[in-house]
A and B are shown apart, each in its own frame.
Chain A
Amino acid sequence: MIRYLLKRVASGIALLCLVSTVTFMMVFGATGNVARNILGENATAEQVTALNSRLGLDRPLMVQFGDWVSHAIRGDLGPSWTMSESVASALASRLPVTLSMVTIAVAMMALLSAMLGIAAAVRGGWADRAIQIVSVAGFAMPNFWLGLLLVLTFSVQLGWLPATGYVSFGASPSAWAASLVLPVTALVLSGIASASQQIRGAVIDALKQDYVRTLRARGVSPRSVLYRHALRNAMPAALTVLSVQFIALLGGAAVIERVFAIPGMGSLTVSAALIGDVPVLMGVVVTLIIVVVLVNILIDFLNAWANPKVRMS
């Protein structure tokens, strides 16, 4: 079990190194227009050259890489090219915003899709049809469009909730909650589709197993058969879905943050991408991979709890 987890950690670190290298080559290898982008159309050729040399872009790629790695190891991820702070400090203020939004969304999605999935698996009928419709709709509507519709309805038309902006939890918990209602709803609705479908399938599979008949033949109550036995066996599949959804939501948050003007990782990435603040992009990718690796290890832990075969090996 410990060895299994250590292996996952090692594999996570290997992934981190590989992805940062590939990403570095991609983004630093294409910095030809960055200086002009930052300086604007009217900059002179001398100004562009000066900026290129100030940013170190005139050095060989490997030297730049070594430089970046040394910053990464020190933990500041280098200076941002467009903001007057280090990448690490820019990320530090943004990451909690995105993570809190995505975590709340995943938790709600887990709860709702478990309820929907179980209802559909056990009852069939209307619950099954409802989940089908929600699934198709949730999958087909881009989450940012859903976000726009929510803004249109609840902010522009009804005026119930703030259309945009973000209030930190420290400043006002209630305003914080209000500012997250719409973005979280948009995220949850778009992810719930595949999650509830998969949970439905996993529960149906578990209930089809022979041991369910044997447990029932021994007089075990239907409630225990469903909630204790079937659900425990459906757990690995459900956890896998949630981990996939978590990653998808991290990406989805980028667009949603744009719609709701939330100062998170997503909006930082978008502006950095448009202007070409390459160190920030590197920082975002590296940070998110670390988050994903940690979440996957957590999921592995939970999986091992649900599945003795994994735990024992």
Chain B
Amino acid sequence: MSDINTAQAPIPAASQRRHFVRSVLSNPTGLVASLALLVVIASAIFAPLLAPNDPSAVQIFKVNAVAGDGYLLGGDGSGRDIWSRLVHGGRNTFLGALITVVIAASIGVTAGLFAGFYGRKLDLVARWISDGIMALPALIVLLAFYQALGASIYLSMAVFGVMLSPGFFRLTRNLVNGVKHELYIDAARVSGLSDLRIITRHILLSVRAPVVIQTSIVAGIAIVVQSGLEFLGLGDPSTPTWGGMLQDAFSNIYVSPQAILWPGLAITATVASLVLLANAIRDRMQQGGVQVRAPKVLPLAASQPLPQAAPDVLLDVRDLVVAYPANDGWREVVKGVSLSLRRGEVLGLVGESGSGKSQTAFAILGLLSPGGRVVSGSILFDGIDLGKSSQDEVRALRGKRIAYVPQEPMANLDPAFRIGYQLVEPMMTVLGISRAEATRRALKLLARVKLPDPERVFRAYPHQISGGMAQRVLIAGAVACSPDLLIADEPTTALDVTVQAEVLDLLRDLQKEFNMAVMLVTHNFGVVADSCDRVAVMKDGRIVEINSVADLFAAPAHDYTRMLLDSVLEDGKTRTYRPPMTEEMRA
């Protein structure tokens, strides 16, 4: 049973968590940032041990003194030791940041969890409050409240925490909204778990990492704002603070300019470490643990003699290999595919997910996803070697002679533009015709694909039409320039079965009308039987069988094809109902 044995080697959960921390640290940025943060925090904690002088002790003869003579970094405007004040200044900075972060996160995350989970009125109210707070310039509000809060910077930082809570609220709420419709939440409900348990067990787990990142960023913001308040003179003048040191340095900027540097550097280094650590965690999460970097050395395309093609062959693919960068070099997704397509012929490309059928199609279109490359092999379209043509030459073929119909109709229309524009723009580019002419043709095409009221569809935005209509629009766009080859990637998979039948009909009619060659990528043997002349069956990046449709269904040559055809649920006998045995009958 292939679906039993495809999983990778098991990794125990506990070691995965340890692995996460280790892999954040194995990233050089993450390591340096963590170390720097550790050093700054440790020096704040052990400030009394590190500071050679009392940070508030004044030595008149050392006013604005240069470094040396017991003052490691010199003296400030009042003759106090800058180094000692610097290490002591870290203490109140970190305490302030901690207050802000704890208040912001506890308010924001809690509100976000509940507003996101329960939605409706609670969400509406919470969002309005959060938007309201976000509309306030925080620093101005803290200044305005200064008289009320008094000289204690910690009270100000607590208020600042409230002002930053919308950041956590929005993040958490959006994350919860993202996961609350996940089916595993429904499954938890169905098994009778309480809302509280669902929120704390399932939802909190999935917001954990982004909240950690946000915490790190907010701590950085808090440090900067706190130093700003102190710089403006809002702090307690008797405590050494980084912002207060900057204020002092500012008033002596002409006498002792270097004093500006140290507190600023301390703030910058601390905040930068926090941000870099957040970045390292984010990178780690986005990669899902794998450091993917494109290998430097590209596998070289083998130079081959130009293959000779039969005269009526439109598309000739030989030994096509497509690869994507992976953690250990290149991962081949198409491993030597050869196929050809005659003019006016419909070829089905069938296979299960991961068989490489879509990648083969995208390679022919020259539209592989970022990173993907045709590593070797050749693609000849009407005698033109696409692999040896320039980007511009291939682009000139796309839309005009090679067209594409995608799988998800709604995702393939640009939501910001009217449908008419999305048909007219490519025609003007590709055919070089006027807007008026392109509009006339687009309306004709919309009528041709049997859309009721083409004028209305032409003016509509994508969100105003149904999926079936959208697929007709995309088909109209594909045949707009009478292409020779149409590549359709699962064109009916996302559609309802009755709409699918109509769209297949439409595709068949247009194929005859334009005498197009069609490559129909699908997983559905019914669609193949319905529409194709020949079929290529793909498995693991290779073609295992190419056959005419009649022969393939009558006498499949390859075991894999036979297995697939056997899996098709056919009109066999239906089941007969027998009431289950009760406990007594069993006993």
A residues at B contact (CB < 8 Å): 11, 15, 18-19, 23, 26-27, 29-31, 33-34, 132, 135-137, 139-142, 144-145, 148-149, 151-152, 156, 209-211, 213-221, 224, 229, 232-233, 244, 247-248, 250-252, 254-255, 258-259, 265-266, 269-270, 272-274, 276, 278, 281-282, 284-285, 288-289, 292-293, 296, 306-309, 312
Contact = CB atoms under 8 A, between A and B. Distances in A.
Interface string B442-483: 000000000000000000010110000000001001101100
A255 B230 CA distance: 10
Which bracket fits the contact residues of B? 35 or more
Interface string B181-218: 00000000000000000000000000000000000000
A215 B414 contact: yes
B227 interface: yes
Interface stretch (B52-60, B67-75, B137-145): B137-145
Given A214-B406, A270-B233, 7 more contacts: A135-B275, A140-B224, A141-B271, A142-B264, A215-B426, A265-B140, A282-B144
B140 A213 contact: no
A251 B139 contact: yes
Contacts of B438: none
A156 B414 contact: no
A293 to B, nearest CB: 7
Given A145-B246, A217-B367, A139 B425 contact: no
A308 B362 CA distance: 30
Given A152-B257, A210-B408, A232-B417, A140 B271 contact: yes
A219 B398 contact: yes
A208 B279 CA distance: 22
A292 B411 CA distance: 35
Given A233-B414, A308-B461, A289 B136 contact: yes
A230 to B, nearest CB: 9
Contact of B399 (A23, A220, A309): A220
B135 A211 contact: no
Nearest to B233: A274
A217 B365 contact: yes
A209 B410 CA distance: 11
A287 to B, nearest CB: 10
Contacts of A29: 148
B26 interface: no
Contacts of B146: 273-274
A269 B140 contact: yes
A232 B416 CA distance: 7
B389 to A, nearest CB: 14
Contacts of A144: 228, 231, 246
B143 A292 contact: no
Contacts of B253: 148, 151-152, 156
A251 B143 CA distance: 10
A139 B220 contact: yes
**Chain A at the B interface: mostly helix, strand, loop or mixed?**
helix
8 contacts: A23-B145, A142-B227, A144-B246, A145-B267, A209-B411, A210-B412, A218-B430, A308-B415
B28 interface: no
Contacts of B416: 229, 232-233, 306-308
B43 to A, nearest CB: 18
Nearest to A132: B279
Contacts of A218: 398-399, 403-404, 426, 430, 477-478, 480
A146 to B, nearest CB: 8
B475 to A, nearest CB: 11
Contacts of A151: 253
B299 interface: no
A248 B417 contact: no
A135 B257 CA distance: 26
A56 to B, nearest CB: 16
A281 B143 contact: yes
B417 A229 contact: yes
B264 A149 contact: yes
B411 A31 contact: no
Q: Closest 10 CB pairs between A and B?
A: A219-B399, A251-B139, A30-B148, A217-B404, A251-B137, A218-B426, A140-B271, A140-B272, A145-B264, A210-B411
Contacts of B464: 312
A14 to B, nearest CB: 8
B414 A142 contact: no
